[in-house]
Structure 1
Amino acid sequence: MPGVVLVGAQWGDEGKGKATDLLGSRVDYVVKFNGGNNAGHTVVIGNEKYALHLLPSGILSPGVIPVIGNGVVVDLEVLFQELDAISARGVDTSRLLVSGSAHIIAPYHRTVDKVTERFLGKRRIGTTGRGIGPAYADKINRVGIRMWDLFDEKILRAKVEGALDQKNHLLVKIYNRRAITVDETVEELLKYADRVRPMVADTSVELNKALDAGRTVLFEAGQATMLDIDHGTYPFVTSSSATAGGAVTGSGIGPTRVDSVIGVIKAYTTRVGEGPFPTELFDDKGEFLRKSGGEYGVTTGRPRRCGWYDAVIARYAARINGLTDLVLTKLDILTGMEKVPVCVAYDVDGVRHDEMPTDQTAFHHAKPIYEQFDGWWEDISHARTFEELPVNAQRYVRALEEMSGTRISAIGVGPARDQIIPIHDLIHPR
């Protein structure tokens, strides 16, 4: 049975939680391999809506083992807030595994994140202020704290001292903030040690054994392709690998264990935070997409920037991730539009670009070249087969498939669990 990677093909908020939930009954493990609580998945089951931030979506599927991989940074307070919240609603959380090699977001990471963004002013990145970037920076600088360290107070204290030696100089001398003490930080972290201990494991061994035994493992990305630290719209990106390659490094499995890569993409485009966005709308149509699509951040509540579908970015995501399938979400939001534009290429200073320019300056100056498609007025929320869609909606989907270079294997026509049109099987071996 295959290893399946699920990634966002735009700037996030594409509906990855819905896609993961769609596959949930057919997989044995769901692994979050990057990011932290700086993004969210919304999953609707019956009349219940769940907003997950740090936890893998698979925690909502009975029998599935949810895993927080080594590529994730973990805020322990948020972890237990989420576990307590969904446990109170009757969800069994006892199966959760957390990699001992996952790094911990310490209180000083949150402090540094917030003061740094304020200091940057107009040059700010648009972070969520949850300490994600500083935690990853410490990981790369080799002064980070891992889950294993919670169980050896001597090592934990030494690592906190090493980290604060530098950060207190920054906080006091540059940002005019008070110094953070080693004792308060160690005390804060240790209060979670006993509770998290039963969850912590060598998840790389667990996942490889599962694949050897023929189990199906789904690796779900936080954020999305255009926010990837290497392949996104740098520097307006997240601090981790949100593309398919991140599934390998972020979970401890080899690249030959991956059989398929599913990209989740909206029928239009959104992004949160700063940075270039070629198809962004500033008129009543953008506001219509925002209100009709409920385009407000799951984690932050921030209004999302909205724009038309960008086939250039879709092709880029297909190439970077090696996509085998696309799940197209929120097609229903476009109902009622006379014309639906799609960006098919960019104009950069008079030169046509059919592929995304990775040069920051060129991408900032990219202007969309649109192709117009006829819209539809029929309610599509009850459609469960492709043939039940209006002809113009079918044409729109087929055009996106051709321009994006990847087959569309499922279409979302509403927020509920069953509001999906399956076209091709999403779980398939190479």
Structure 2
Amino acid sequence: MSGQSIVIHGAQWGDEGKGKIVDLMTEKADVITRFQGGNNAGHTLVVNDEKTILHLIPSGILHPGKVCLIGNGVVLDPVVFCQELDKLEARGVDVSPQRIRISRKTQVIMPYHRRLDAAREAAKEGGRIGTTGRGIGPCYEDKMSRIGIRACDFADVELLKIKIEAALAEKNVLFTSLYSAPAMTVETVFEEIKDAAARLVPYLTDVDEILDTSRKQGKTILFEGAQGTMLDIDHGTYPFVTSSNTVSGNAAAGSGFTPRGLTEIIAVVKAYTTRVGAGPFPTELECESGNHMQSVGAEFGATTGRKRRCGWLDICVLRQAVRLNGPTGIALTKLDVLGGLKELQICTAYETDGKTVDYPPQQENGLAHVSPVYETMPGWAEDISGAKSWDDLPQAARNYIERIEALLETPVTIISVGPGREQTIIR
């Protein structure tokens, strides 16, 4: 793995277990880089039976000596960032600026972003998309409108206040005229973020320069994505998507790394399918099998605590993910959760408008109008959470994996059979 630059991305609707895979591969990496999303993502890690949930700081922070970078494609809530620093530091983790670096170009989530996000979602009533309400979308909007606050602005207090005032000129019109809410003042906003802003400044750097130097020195770099392919702002199930590009190609744009330097792409695939929030979900189960996945898999959002919707593995969604991301290998997670189910079903195609298709429809809300076509395979009763090798797996589990490989024409190189680092089979 020496000298490689590896992208790890989610291939479904997020919550695939990317945090564990990044944590696992970090052992042999030098630099770990987060390239998109904000604290609407949650990566759950279990090390020595101790659970850690991270929202902004890359998962590699739990490995001593690793450098963790937050790229320009991320939107950073400074208050949440400082809270994560405090929690990690209380556990004895080194969170010094020598270990964590933030791009000066990273956009910052401000208090008015969170407030606007919540007001909009509340106003939608029956048309809600299930946003986390953390200000992610409004922050990305300001970035594209070229009125955003960047992390480097925190080093210039006077400039920061000027930019807050400019942003509030528009936001206050929305608050008072559209949402019947009181206006916000520059002073109130500044007071809320000033301590976190001052604390964040020592962490600022040129992330693209660190990445380029690391590449030239032959160091191994991991790029850690958040959310999943089907939540990509362009390629996902629009409008039920996140506010950034989640596909592997954004690893370069969201960090300042040359695309020519990327050597490997790992698609993280859950052995079944889950989704949090609203939006179409063709293989969703509202039966005992779905309840089994939800309870055995402890399917609750790491960020929101919301119950995840569960369903059978959707190969049509994964074909789209393979086409968009070009993975060199698949990390299959939560295979152990399927133990105890007599039969497993895999969605291999959709029926829609009298036709059979094998990719998700591209029109808006197209997935809401398809019926899944299933292929049935036998399940297994054995507990596989202690399996250490391919041969330790029941034949039915091996058949299931091999069928996934054949349908996606991509090898499954990592198999996770539990939340712990040691509960992993490397092929």
TM (norm. structure 2) is: 0.98
Q: Is the 8 A contact 1:315 1:405 kept in 2?
A: no
| Whole-angstrom distance in 2 between the partners of 1:161 and 1:194 | 19
Q: Corresponding residue for 2:351?
A: 347
Offset of residue 189 of structure 1: 2.6
For 1:206, give the aligned amino acid. I
Alignment map for 1:15-94 (pairs within 5 Å) = 15-94=17-96
| Whole-angstrom distance in 2 between the partners of 1:284 and 1:159 | 53
Tell me whether 1:421 sits opposite 2:425 in the alignment: yes
Offset of residue 296 of structure 1: 0.2
Offset of residue 231 of structure 1: 0.9
Q: Is the 8 A contact 1:150 1:189 kept in 2?
A: no
Q: Corresponding residue for 2:155?
A: 151
Cα deviation 1:369-412 (Å, max 9, x = unaligned): 00000011111111111111001110001001111221100101
| Whole-angstrom distance in 1 between the partners of 2:165 and 2:77 | 19
| Whole-angstrom distance in 2 between the partners of 1:365 and 1:332 | 31
Cα deviation 1:256-311 (Å, max 9, x = unaligned): 01011100010000010111111011112211111110000001000001000011
Cα deviation 1:308-359 (Å, max 9, x = unaligned): 0011111111110111110000000000111000000011122100122211
| Whole-angstrom distance in 1 between the partners of 2:330 and 2:11 | 9
**Aligned counterpart in structure 2 of residue 205 of structure 1, from 186, 202, 209:** 209
| Whole-angstrom distance in 2 between the partners of 1:321 and 1:9 | 8
| Whole-angstrom distance in 2 between the partners of 1:114 and 1:411 | 38
Tell me whether 1:394 sits opposite 2:381 in the alignment: no
* SS of corresponding position for 1:192: helix
| Whole-angstrom distance in 1 between the partners of 2:327 and 2:106 | 27
Q: Is the 8 A contact 1:43 1:50 kept in 2?
A: yes
* SS of corresponding position for 1:371: strand
Offset of residue 360 of structure 1: 2.1
Alignment map for 1:69-218 (pairs within 5 Å) = 69-94=71-96, 95-218=99-222
Q: Is the 8 A contact 1:348 1:362 kept in 2?
A: no
For 1:190, give the aligned amino acid. K
| Whole-angstrom distance in 1 between the partners of 2:198 and 2:382 | 55
* SS of corresponding position for 1:66: strand
TM (norm. structure 1) is: 0.97
| Whole-angstrom distance in 1 between the partners of 2:221 and 2:154 | 28
| Whole-angstrom distance in 2 between the partners of 1:39 and 1:381 | 26
* SS of corresponding position for 1:344: strand
Offset of residue 361 of structure 1: 4.3
Cα deviation 1:111-133 (Å, max 9, x = unaligned): 00001001011111110000000
| Whole-angstrom distance in 1 between the partners of 2:412 and 2:271 | 11
Offset of residue 3 of structure 1: 0.8
**Aligned counterpart in structure 2 of residue 313 of structure 1, from 300, 317, 330:** 317
| Whole-angstrom distance in 2 between the partners of 1:85 and 1:190 | 20
Tell me whether 1:328 sits opposite 2:332 in the alignment: yes
Offset of residue 90 of structure 1: 1.4
Gaps of 5+ in 2: none
* Corresponding residue pairs, total: 423
* SS of corresponding position for 1:191: helix
Q: Corresponding residue for 2:226?
A: 222
| Whole-angstrom distance in 1 between the partners of 2:357 and 2:167 | 45
* SS of corresponding position for 2:24: helix
Q: Is the 8 A contact 1:33 1:70 kept in 2?
A: yes
Q: Corresponding residue for 1:272?
A: 276
| Whole-angstrom distance in 2 between the partners of 1:29 and 1:107 | 31
Q: Is the 8 A contact 2:360 2:366 kept in 1?
A: no
Offset of residue 153 of structure 1: 1.7
* SS of corresponding position for 1:37: coil
Q: Is the 8 A contact 1:312 1:404 kept in 2?
A: no
| Whole-angstrom distance in 1 between the partners of 2:407 and 2:195 | 52
* SS of corresponding position for 2:324: helix
Gaps of 5+ in 1: 424-430
* SS of corresponding position for 1:44: strand
Offset of residue 162 of structure 1: 1.2
Q: Corresponding residue for 2:10?
A: 8
